[in-house]
């Protein structure tokens, strides 16, 4: 039996070494996400954006604001809000939404979501805008 032990150990070590690069290859490459929100008129807006990949849907749905901070900002035609974050799975998690409230004046909110410098989603509305790759 002792003669087989070194062979078994060698086989296990070889399997660990061979599978290590495969496990590393399974890890998603971090992607640079840039969120931009603008408005046609000066307005105070609430902007929620995803800045962290949740580990799974259950954790996200239990507390979405843990992964989606809010920025309360003044924006306008010459005063955009821009935020860059890094996400591993933008197709699943990248999202920005902006609202200015239901006032009588159309603020003309617009958003853009870029992944690695390429704009992949845009949105606009009189009092709110949503940009996401996922249909929520």
CATH superfamily of 31-132: MmpS1-5, C-terminal soluble domain (2.60.40.2880)
pLDDT at position 106: 87
List, in sequence order, every residue forming a beta bridge with 33; answer none if it has no partner: 85, 115
No. of helices (H) and no. of strands (E), the chain: 3, 8
Burial class (CB within 10 angstroms; exposed 0-12, middle 13-18, buried 19+) of 99: middle
- In this predicted structure, what is the pLDDT of residue 136? 66
Encode the chain (136 residues) as per-residue pLDDT tens digits: 555 555 444 444 444 444 445 455 567 799 999 999 999 999 999 999 999 999 999 999 999 999 999 999 999 999 999 999 999 999 999 999 999 977 767 899 999 999 999 999 999 999 999 999 987 6
What residue spans define the domains of the chain?
A: 31-132
């Amino acid at each position: 039996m002792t003669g087989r032990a070194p062979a078994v150990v060698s086989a296990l070590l070889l399997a660990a070494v061979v599978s290590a690069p495969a496990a590393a290859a399974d890890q998603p490459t971090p992607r640079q996400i840039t969120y931009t929100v603008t408005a046609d008129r000066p307005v105070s807006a609430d902007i929620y954006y995803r800045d962290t990949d949740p580990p799974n849907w259950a954790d996200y749905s239990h507390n979405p604001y843990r992964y989606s901070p809010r920025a309360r900002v003044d924006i306008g035609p010459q005063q955009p809000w821009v935020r860059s974050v890094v996400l591993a799975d933008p197709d699943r998690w990248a999202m920005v939404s902006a609202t200015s409230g239901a006032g009588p004046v159309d603020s003309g909110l617009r958003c853009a979501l870029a992944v690695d410098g390429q704009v992949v989603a845009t949105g606009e509305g009189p009092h709110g805008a949503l940009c996401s790759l996922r249909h929520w």
